[in-house]
Structure 1
Amino acid sequence: MEFLRPADWREALAAKAEHPSAVPIAGGTDVMVEINFDHRRPEYLMDLNRIALLQTWETEGDAVRLGAGVPYARIIEELRGPLPGLALASRTVASPQIRNRGSVGGNLGCASPAGDAHPALLAAGAEVEADSVRGSRLIPVDSFYTGVKRNALAPDELIKAVRIPVADGPQQFSKVGTRNAMVIAVCAFALALHPRTRSVRTGIGSAAPTPVRARAAEEFLEAVLADEGLWDSRRDLGPSVVKRFGDLAAASCNPIDDLRGTARYRRHAVGVMARRQLLWTWEEYRAGRG
């Protein structure tokens, strides 16, 4: 296994073009585990830690442009205002040590269906900025996940940043695990209300081959909010709406049985989380905090 250590982004892109099989590594919280357990033995390993631009974030209009290497700990401390859903998800990642090293870019690169950042990114409507010597492109996060631990990156592309809309309404995230910390999600759910566009977005993790949205649940809730004038009146949703939203979210799953949980349990848990998060976000919206 050869070790590549580019000094800047241009050098990194050139190295990736020359060695498309090179596996990028920054925090190493996923890649090194696979290597240590001999689940993966890449021909080339590319260290991106010297590239400062991956460690920065900035606000561009109504979005945050988050460098691929910004660790979860900084998201929690610096971005919980503009990106509340992602900050909540970041709080659930492993341990303080892992949160100081792991990043959203790493989560996206590995594309595990259990990655904690994915549901929040789906609910927010993020875009992945992919870069290569051929140029840059933005990939909607909905299109980024192509299979179990597979993504839409071309062999010569690297993730440079993630563009995430600044929250204009309440956002929530929760996950179920076999214990309270240092746990891979049995399943996870995220919800974001977008009052500016009068839309609803969701994200489900670890309950399908890829992270997915509960589109039927979104469409149902959007119709209720519009038809009953609830965006403006902010009246109570009613228990039947909350229950139906949870049922539709659960039906959007395509889970499996494994050591962490059964498919039946995952569907049930997603439904419970969806109902609870809808109550939490709507109460926040009614209180004028969105």
Structure 2
Amino acid sequence: MEFLTPMGWDEALAMKADRPDALPLAGGTDVMVELNLTAHRPAALLDLTRIPELRTWSTTANEHIRLGAGVTYRQVIDELADQLPGLAMAARTVGSPQIRNRGTVGGNLGAASPAGDSHPPLLAVGAQIEVSSKTRGSRLIPIDEFFTGVKRNALAPDELIAAAVIPTARGPQQFSKIGTRNAMVIAVCSFALALDAHTEVVGTGIGSAAPTPIRADEAERYLTEVLQGLRLWRRRSPLPESVVRRFAELVAEAAAPIDDVRGTAVYRRHALSVLARRTLTWAWDEYWATGQSAA
């Protein structure tokens, strides 16, 4: 196995163009597990950890965060909890402190696991994934189109993930997941919710309950229409219990779970309905009380 060590972004893209079979290595928290278990033995590893521009984030002119692919979970927690509260909540649930110090959102996207903790909050806010090729330049892939199958994504063989472009919070956001224990656990299922008080739109993200991370489209449409129809964005009154219950039902119906060693399909659907009900209640209570996004 070859180990490629570019020192800059252009060099990394050139190496990837020359060796499209090279597996990118960011934090290594997914890749090294597969290597240790001999589940995946690539012809080459492309080490991206020495590229400084991947480890930074910036605010764009249209109030988005451009999150470099090498930004760690710890950076998200420490530096971006106000701007990206849902992603910061998800980051706090990832592994151990050592893994959060090493693991990256870009690496999580590249692995494209249905159980990736960063995926639901990125779906809920409609993030875009910036990818680059040496020969074709850069393009933005909507997060809804990024995941194409179990551990598969929309990257071309010669492309690398440069960044995630994420709208800053314009209302409360929440993230919850169910696992077999409180820490160091892969999600049995997870759910993210984002309330955008400016556009009066609801966003969702479901993890570990379908072949890919998905949104609960019908649940989003239902809640968006109810909140607008009852003018609850302006009144800031409590949500009717019937609305919360129906939203939770639609979230559960959106899932396509399987039975596996971590849980049954029936349990996952039930758990998602509970997570949807809780996160909506928490987020709306916060909006009703303060109108501020969660930190």
Scaled by the length of structure 1, the TM-score of the pair is 0.99
Give the deviation of 1:40 after TM superposition: 0.3
Q: What is the CA–CA distance in structure 1 between the aligned matches of 2:205 and 2:231, rounded to whole Å?
A: 25
Q: What is the CA–CA distance in structure 2 between the aligned matches of 1:220 and 1:18, rounded to whole Å?
A: 48
Query: Quick one: which amino acid aligns to residue 287 of structure 1?
Result: A
Q: What is the CA–CA distance in structure 1 between the aligned matches of 2:26 and 2:174, rounded to whole Å?
A: 28
Give the deviation of 1:125 after TM superposition: 1.1
Alignment of 1:81-100 (within 5 A): 81-100=82-101
Tell me the residue number matched to 1:19.
19
Q: Confirm or deny that 1:2 pairs with 2:2.
A: yes
Q: What is the CA–CA distance in structure 2 between the aligned matches of 1:289 and 1:241, rounded to whole Å?
A: 20
1:42 is paired with a residue of what secondary structure? coil
Q: What is the CA–CA distance in structure 2 between the aligned matches of 1:26 and 1:33, rounded to whole Å?
A: 13
Q: What is the CA–CA distance in structure 1 between the aligned matches of 2:98 and 2:113, rounded to whole Å?
A: 20
Deviation digits for residues 227-254 of structure 1 (CA, Å, limit 9, x no counterpart): 1111111111110000000000000000
User: Which of 236, 248, 251 pairs up with 1:249?
Assistant: 251
1:282 is paired with a residue of what secondary structure? helix
Quote the sequence identity (%): 64
Tell me the residue number matched to 1:113.
114
Query: Quick one: which amino acid aligns to residue 106 of structure 1?
Result: G
Q: Which runs of 5+ in 1 are unaligned?
A: none
Tell me the residue number matched to 2:123.
122
Q: What is the CA–CA distance in structure 2 between the aligned matches of 1:277 and 1:208, rounded to whole Å?
A: 20
Tell me the residue number matched to 1:60.
60
Q: Confirm or deny that 1:139 pairs with 2:128.
A: no
Q: Confirm or deny that 1:102 pairs with 2:64.
A: no
Alignment of 1:1-290 (within 5 A): 1-61=1-61, 62-133=63-134, 134-290=136-292
1:202 is paired with a residue of what secondary structure? strand
1:29 is paired with a residue of what secondary structure? coil
Query: Quick one: which amino acid aligns to residue 191 of structure 1?
Result: L
Query: Quick one: which amino acid aligns to residue 40 of structure 2?
Result: R
Query: Quick one: which amino acid aligns to residue 21 of structure 2?
Result: S
1:100 is paired with a residue of what secondary structure? helix
Give the deviation of 1:128 after TM superposition: 0.3
Give the deviation of 1:289 after TM superposition: 2.9
The total of aligned residue pairs comes to: 290
RMSD: 0.6
Q: What is the CA–CA distance in structure 1 between the aligned matches of 2:271 and 2:242, rounded to whole Å?
A: 18
Give the deviation of 1:288 after TM superposition: 2.3
Q: What is the CA–CA distance in structure 1 between the aligned matches of 2:201 and 2:220, rounded to whole Å?
A: 8
Q: What is the CA–CA distance in structure 2 between the aligned matches of 1:6 and 1:184, rounded to whole Å?
A: 31
Scaled by the length of structure 2, the TM-score of the pair is 0.97
2:102 is paired with a residue of what secondary structure? coil
Q: Which runs of 5+ in 2 are unaligned?
A: none
Q: What is the CA–CA distance in structure 1 between the aligned matches of 2:27 and 2:225, rounded to whole Å?
A: 42
Query: Quick one: which amino acid aligns to residue 246 of structure 2?
Result: R
Query: Quick one: which amino acid aligns to residue 66 of structure 1?
Result: L
Deviation digits for residues 156-193 of structure 1 (CA, Å, limit 9, x no counterpart): 00000100000000000000000010000000000000
Runs of 4+ in 1 over 4 A off after TM superposition: none
Query: Quick one: which amino acid aligns to residue 103 of structure 1?
Result: T
